[in-house]
Structure 1
Amino acid sequence: MAHNNKTTRLFQPNMLALAVSSVLFGAVLPATAQQQTNDAAKKEEAALEVIQVTARRTAENLQSVPVAVTSIGAEDLKQRGIENITTVQQYSPNTTMQVSRGTNSTLTAYIRGIGQQDPLWGFEPGVGIYIDDVYMARPQGAALDIYDVERIEVLRGPQGTLYGRNTIGGAVKYVTKALSGDNEFAVRGTVGNYGQKDVKLSGQTALTDKLFIGAAGAVLTRDGFGSYLNTGDENYNKDITTGRLSLQYQAADNLRFSFAADETQDDSNSKGGHRLTPSLLTKETPPDNVYDSNTSMPVDNSVETSGQSLTMAWDVNNDWTIKAVSARREGVTDTNIDFDSTRLPSLDVPAFYEDEQTSHELQFLYNSNKLKFASGLYKFNGEACGAFGTVIVAGAGVTVENGGCVDTDSMAAYAQGTYQYDDQWSFTLGGRYTEDDKDAQVYRYMYLGYKLPRVPAANPPLQVQTNFEKSASFNHFSPRVGFEYQANDDLMVYGSYTDGFKSGGFDMRAVKSLNPSADEPYQPETVDTFELGIKSEWLERRLRLNAAVFAAAYDDMQVTVQRAVGNNVASQVLNAASADINGIELEATAVATDALQFNLIVGYTDAKFNEVIFYDAASKTSTDVSNLWSFANTPELTATLGTKYTVAMMGGELVFNANLAQRSETQIFELPSVLDSGGYTLLNAGATWYAPDGHWDVSLQGRNLGNKQVRIAGYNFPLLAGEQTITAYYNDPRTVSLTVGYRF
């Protein structure tokens, strides 16, 4: 591994200019020379493939869409060894997708500095996650494993006019494989280190000439990267069963109905944090292995998510399509989180979350030579409930139980159209009006002894810290204005102004005994983003270069702050007065020869708070702390340099992939802490062989080959309950896997 570590050290930020030059110019020079001698057929064979996306609600060439979007297709996902949606962050600039603290399948997603730090029920995400056309309202279960997928799209920047709900930072689309009616079957089996054993099955067929059916499922298991030292249970293990059923009925040539249902059961253990400080109460020292922990709780954990959707698409004529999507999703989480990760039953947090959502969307799509138009009506209803207990030991054992529900009713109407003025110029205008009504019920009681949530108390509470029911309404109009200039067939320049919106709400951890105004709603946040970009292909489609610069004014940013006040945790949701986010994004792919490709992805974000008015519950004073705060989960630099090489082997084809993925220093929370991670680079490599008959493939993949240990989440309570409670959660260590696949 000495060679890998050396390679990792070489790829530092000051090498980016050299990397850009080598990919955009050095890699292209031999391609240019080869073009002079190859015939037209050879040139076409070596050209980059056309990538289809649905960023504007209809299938289009990536290069014609005036949006900063990354699309990764099924074969690229396989060849790059991407098994979970979180890995996509390495292939999309200015994007963070991590597994949240204390969990295996809850997603923390940020794009261009905007996201959701706190996965508690009632809080809204800043990045919308979609399974096909259905929005997932909660981050639990959103760290999706990848199977039977056609592609994954990442849309960066506000997507309010077409996608609306909580896409103030962007949207991530998990697009499943479409039904064709062909007889297909595929099976993939994977074994790897840490006892990884995965099986994925998928298939489809036609029941009649008009009715198609498809199904896919996976069982994903892995031993823990570490263990709970005092119990012997596994830590960071994986135990997931998931499946999906699809039906499509072609009622007429221009009318089709599609039904989909999915269900996932995650029985992986709750994830134990690694203490960074010795325990003052138990004298336990930090374990040697960062994946080891201690606990005073059971490690049982269950996350169950499911959903059903029905889609109707009616092609009224050559220009008009009417589409209706109705969906329902629900999730139940029952877990145990040991905040202090010690053997002592203190700071234990047993938790239960439950959510349900229904949505209905009616779309009107128009496409003619001069005008492309998408409009619709959207209705959403969601109920998110939960309860958790914080067991505190500091002289006497007490439990603080926090719980409640928030109901959301949302209505929206939207329209966006692009008018083709002439052969080169087109203009886009769009808008969305949203109205949200929220009803919240929040309680927070203190009990003597150890009490589990949802279990009736034997005695009345010692103290009622919070108990309120309140309602609030929020509305907003989000416009979009843009232009597109098609200089020639291979170069488009676009510019846009877009307004993004995320609804307000109530703090589900509100502590009125410490903050009398804690029951007041926090307000919506908005972002106004200006973007200028290019989509281009050069050298007869041997070089694809897409880039964007953006400037965003972020107002009333919602930030969840938790501070230790004595033996209590005081929560507050702040509307930071303002922040500015500016950045650059570059995505380049170059064909050096018909067997060799390079790709480069670079994102730079300059995000700064202008004003943050912070209320201190202990001193009961307000202060501007913007000079102390920085953006969480937003590295200044993200970059990936990759290569792909294809060679004939044993009558088939062998595809090599390798990349270096770099992220600069990242803060876990808005305030600096010892949890914060320095910059790092991950080395990933793999090889996939395709048999000549097209049925078999074998893939060997290695991820994080340099075995970098990076803190990606944590809890920071240095003064809570007489303890210095600072615990960290880490990325996956070096993993190696071998997959054999068969399909017909």
Structure 2
Amino acid sequence: MNTLHHKLGLISAAVLSAIVSSTVQANETEQPIVENKSKLERIEVTARRTVENLQEVPVSLVSLGATEMAEKGITVITDIQQYVPNTTLQVSRGSNSTLTAYIRGIGQQDPLWGYEPGVGIYIDDIYMARPQGAVLDIFDVERVEVLRGPQGTLYGKNTIGGAVKYVTKEMSGDAEFAASATVGNYGRKDIKLSGQLPIIEDKLYIGAAIANLTRDGFGKFRNNDEDNYHKDVFASRLKIAFRPTEDLSFKFSYDNTQDDSNAKGGYRMSPSRLTGQQPYDNVYDSDISVPVEGMVELSGMSLIIDWDLSDALSFKSVTAKREGDTLASIDFDNTALKSFDVPGIFDDEQFTQEFQLSYRVNGLSAVGGVYYYDGDACGTFDVQLEVLGQILGAPGLTSENGGCTNTESLSAYGQTSFDLDDHWSMTLGARYTSDEKSADGYKYTFYQTAFPGDVDKGLAMAINPDNTFANDESWTHFSPRVGVEYKPNDNLMYYASYTNGFKSGGFNMRADIGADPSADQPYDPEIVDTIELGFKSEPTVDLRVNAAIFSSDYSDMQVTVQRAVSEGQFVARVLNAGEAKIKGLEFESIYAATDNLNINLSIGYIDAEFVEFLDASPTGEVINKADQYVVSNTPDWSINLGANYSFVADIGDFVVNTSLAYRGDSHMYETPSAIDQKAYTLVNAGVTFYHSDGHWTAALKVNNVLDKEYRVAGYNFAPTLSLEEVLVGYYGDPQTVAFTLGYQF
């Protein structure tokens, strides 16, 4: 397999070299620049905090527009991973709307409150600090941008892997209305409505959108006949735009999402030691011994002020507040016995304020500002071991962890791009960040089976008194970016860059001070240094080719390890124990083969390995176990081949879209296990109809045409106090068929 990967890497390198060579030769012949450079659509992005042509941005990024996503059958943000190389966006284990996001081998393994992500998620430039509720449904959206590599200069901490920007639809100022209804297998019923209305012509507009998304389960909980992998989401969005003058605008937004989907059960991959339950035939079937009801509610509001101070200088203020509440339960062993149940409640809120100045004249662009973040993340979860409690002669045994983390962050940033001559330009940027974090937590054990908050604290404290901690810490970091760009002509740009980013430090919210007196100590930030070389080209009027190679040094990785603190007793610690070397390439192309046919190919390759993973032996000796660990959630190869064919009939236009998405072997955790997913390929197909009157649309989509089974998450625990082995997998969607009818004016 390693030999195959080596050969494929050489082949990819040769392909890239040939493309660059042919592009250079084309430019050496000084082809005339065509006014309309290609048949391909111009793609505008805001990756550098200003509107630019994607082909002019010296950053590895992919932008998917609303029409393209609809034609591809993308309905939720996790579908995007099929079309963006070196990117993992998946639903976290045991959840419906918590996001596991990795880009270029960097992300967040554990969604516990107080831990920081490695990929930043943004809604209209508003940072979402927590992964709960970040599996966003696609509605009322203009585009989604995925920026790969550290974005520490313009986007700040916690974007060391990259950033995902969810950009909602701008109001045009005209009266508009759109409605769509979708029906599909598994009882899918979706309704989406959106519209906008001018209140004062050219001055004041109001817009709104709602989405009601429901689906029966892909499987059942066998012991109570409730739906598993069920969906019940209602989302709404309100916008008000006021433009008192041509140079000044105010945009107010409010959004709310209510997710009442059932708890998600995993598929037992091995027989139960306690009940003898065998693995079911359907990977979406499970058993459960916690309440099936779940709840995630998210809301946010923002005010964006744009003020053009002159033709060259503009000011922006972004004020935002977001909050979320989650009630979730995970049955880790997925049996009808209460042997390893973990109910939890989580709540978080954040306030952000950004002031930004942008300056743009011929040959020079600059953006800079200050950013403030204040956020609280709180949670409580119980590990219910009722079976063990009964063995000990008690009604149950529960261990409860709880606490809060507060983060205040203040940063100042600036980035400028300027021409050196007609062909050469440079990009210089930097950000200085000051983080202050405080945390308090506790861990109690008590002889009863209870849910978070329903605890006999007196009994708990009698078992392990004073098992609480409180501490605070602060960090500062300077993140630079240096880049150089070379444009032989308007159809080709080469670029090289060095970028630094960091992910904030924190505290272990699973701390057990009673067993581990040093558990209140903070862990430090992670640091990533990335060098990237790339080019963006349109060598002919019907071909676009972009590619990049990169190398990242990933240090002070925050790693959760199990440490022995006494005979037979282990605790979880978060340590800056890891260092990794990550190298790879990204290649994206689209070819307008005819006026009706577009063919696109994207390829991602990553070679990621630990060079250091410090852990302690049972005797306390610190040893390097790098050869025993792997980088998680990162397939070596990610490839997508797609075609889009359109044709005109008397009644309207038809667009046929197909794609094959390949993902290589992927590890769920840093240690290889039976729940790891082997390489697989997904096939999607669909046809979209646009009526000639410009109002009606219809679409038939089939995703996962071959009904491929593939795991996206799982748990792997050896029998411990629960007395039960946990070898559980969570799976991506089976074959789904959907028909959508839409109307707009």
Q: Which band: TM-score by shorter chain?
A: over 0.9
Deviation at 1:25, TM superposition (A): 10
2:268 to 275, 300, 322: 275
Q: Give the corresponding residue for 2:657.
A: 657
| 1:627 alignment partner, SS class | helix
Q: Is the 8 A contact 1:444 1:464 kept in 2?
A: no
Give distance in 2, aligned partners of 1:674 and 1:167: 31
Measured in 2, the distance between the counterparts of 1:51 and 1:163 equals 21
Question: How big is the shift at 1:21?
Answer: 10
Cα distance in 1 for residues equivalent to 2:337 and 2:104? 40
* CA drift at 1:556: 0.2
Between the aligned partners of 1:356 and 1:18, the Cα distance in structure 2 is: 49
CA deviation after TM superposition for structure 1 residue 515, in Å: 3.2
1:397-408 alignment, distance < 5 Å: 397-408=396-407
Shift of 1:131: 0.2
Measure the CA separation in 2 of the matches of 1:20 and 1:79: 31
2:454 alignment partner in structure 1 = 455
AA at the equivalent of 1:735: T
Quickly say closer, same or farther: Cα 1:498–1:230, change in 2 above 3 A. same
- Alpha-carbon shift at residue 577 of structure 1 (Å): 3.8
- Asked if 2 retains the 8 angstrom alpha-carbon contact of 1:23 and 1:598, the reply is no
Q: Which of residues 300, 320, 326 is equivalent to 2:313?
A: 320
Q: Which runs of 5 or more structure 2 residues have no equivalent in the other structure?
A: 23-32
Task: Kindly report which structure 2 residues correspond to 1:239-638, keeping only aligned pairs within 5 A, or say none.
Answer: 239-392=232-385, 393-394=387-388, 395-396=391-392, 397-457=396-456, 459-461=458-460, 462-464=463-465, 466-540=467-541, 542-561=542-561, 570-615=571-616, 620-638=620-638
User: Does 1:87 find its partner at 2:79?
Assistant: yes
Partner of 1:4: none
Distance 1:16 1:694 in 2: 46
Shift of the alpha carbon at 1:558?
Answer: 1.2
TM-score, normalised to structure 2, is 0.93
1:142 aligns to 2:129 (yes or no): no
Structure 2 Cα separation of the partners of residues 381 and 15 of structure 1: 47
2:162 is aligned with 1:163:
no
**In the TM superposition, what is the alpha-carbon distance from 1:597 to its structure 2 partner?**
0.8
The aligned residue for residue 29 of structure 2 is: none
Could you say which residue in structure 1 is the equivalent of 2:28?
Answer: none
For structure 1, which runs of at least 5 residues remain unmatched after alignment? 1-10, 30-39
Does the aligned pair in 2 maintain the 1:350–1:389 contact within 8 Å? yes
> CA 1:662 to 1:229, structure 2 compared with 1: closer, same or farther past 3 Å?
same
Contact persistence 2:555–2:579 (CA under 8 A):
yes
Contact 1:24–1:590 at 8 Å: present in 2 too?
no
Q: Is the 8 A contact 2:98 2:133 kept in 1?
A: yes
Is residue 157–residue 501 contact of structure 2 (8 Å, CA) maintained in 1? no
- Tell me how far apart the structure 2 counterparts of residues 597 and 168 of structure 1 sit (CA, whole Å): 33
Task: Report 1:84-163 matches (<5 A).
Answer: 84-163=76-155
Offset, 1:114: 0.5
CA distance, structure 1, for counterparts of residue 615 and residue 620 of structure 2: 10
> 1:203 maps to which residue?
195
Code of the aligned partner of 1:50:
R
Distance of aligned partners of 1:683 and 1:12 in 2 relative to their CA distance in 1, 3 Å threshold: farther
In the alignment, the residues of structure 1 paired with residue 466 and residue 273 of structure 2 have an alpha-carbon distance, to the nearest angstrom, of: 28
Shift of 1:560: 2.6
In the aligned structure 2, how far is the partner of 1:201 from the partner of 1:591?
A: 33
Partners in 1 of 2:640 and 2:563 — Cα distance? 36
TM-score, normalised with respect to structure 1:
0.93
AA matched with 1:361: E
Distance (Å, rounded) in 2 between the aligned partners of 1:500 and 1:456: 42
Q: Counterparts of 1:13 and 1:266 in 2: how far apart (Å)?
A: 45
How far did residue 345 of structure 1 move? 0.8
Deviations 1:556-587 (A, max 9, x none): 01123468999977322121342111010000
Q: Which amino acid counterpart does residue 536 of structure 2 have in structure 1?
A: K
Cα pair 1:84 1:144 within 8 Å, conserved: yes
| Residue 217 of structure 1, aligned match among 210, 214, 228 | 210
TM-fit CA distance, 1:487: 1.1
Q: How far is the alpha carbon of 1:335 from its aligned partner?
A: 1.2
Secondary structure at the counterpart of residue 79 of structure 2: helix
1:623 Cα offset (Å) = 2.6
Structure 1 position 514, deviation (Å): 3.9
State the one-letter code of the partner of 2:309: V
Over the residues paired in the alignment, what is the CA RMSD in angstroms?
Answer: 2.3
Instruction: Identify the residue that residue 50 of structure 1 maps to in structure 2.
Output: 42
Identity level (%): 52
| Letter aligned with residue 559 of structure 1 | V
Residues 537-574 of structure 1 deviation map (CA, whole Å, 9 limit, x = unaligned)? 0212x110000000011110112346899997732212
Which residue of 2 is the match for residue 8 of structure 1?
none
Matched letter for residue 402 of structure 2: G
Task: Tell me what 1:716 maps to.
Answer: 716
Name the SS for the 1:76 alignment partner.
Answer: helix
C-alpha separation between the residues in 2 aligned to 1:486 and 1:120?
45
Deviations 1:628-683 (A, max 9, x none): 00000011111101011011124311001101000000000000011101000000
Cα distance in structure 1, aligned partners of 2:311 and 2:410: 30
Query: Cα distance, 1:511 vs. partner?
Result: 2.3
User: How far apart, in 1, do the equivalents of 2:317 and 2:470 lie?
Assistant: 35
For the residues of structure 1 that align with 2:134 and 2:643, how far apart are their CA atoms?
29
Displacement of 1:719:
2.4
> 1:700 is matched by which residue type in structure 2?
L
Q: 1:25 to 1:165 in 2, by over 3 A?
A: closer
Letter in 2 for 1:368: V
- Matched residues in 1 for 2:405 and 2:12: separation? 49
3-state SS, counterpart of residue 360 of structure 1: strand
Judging changes above 3 Å, is the alpha-carbon distance between structure 1 residues 468 and 25 closer, same or farther for their aligned structure 2 residues?
A: closer
Give, as a single letter, the amino acid of the residue that structure 1 aligns with 2:553: A
CA distance in 2, matches of 1:560, 1:699: 46
Q: Aligned AA for 1:451?
A: A
Pair 1:601–1:483, CA change in 2 (3 A): same
Number of residue pairs aligned between Structure 1 and Structure 2: 719
The residue type paired with residue 504 of structure 1 is G
Q: 1:694 to 1:561 in 2, by over 3 A?
A: farther
Distance in 2 between the 1:201 and 1:21 partners?
Answer: 49
Deviation at 1:178, TM superposition (A): 0.4
- Kept in 2, the 8 Å contact 1:664–1:679? The answer is yes
* 2:339–2:724 Cα contact (<8 Å) kept: no
Give 1:665's aligned amino acid: D
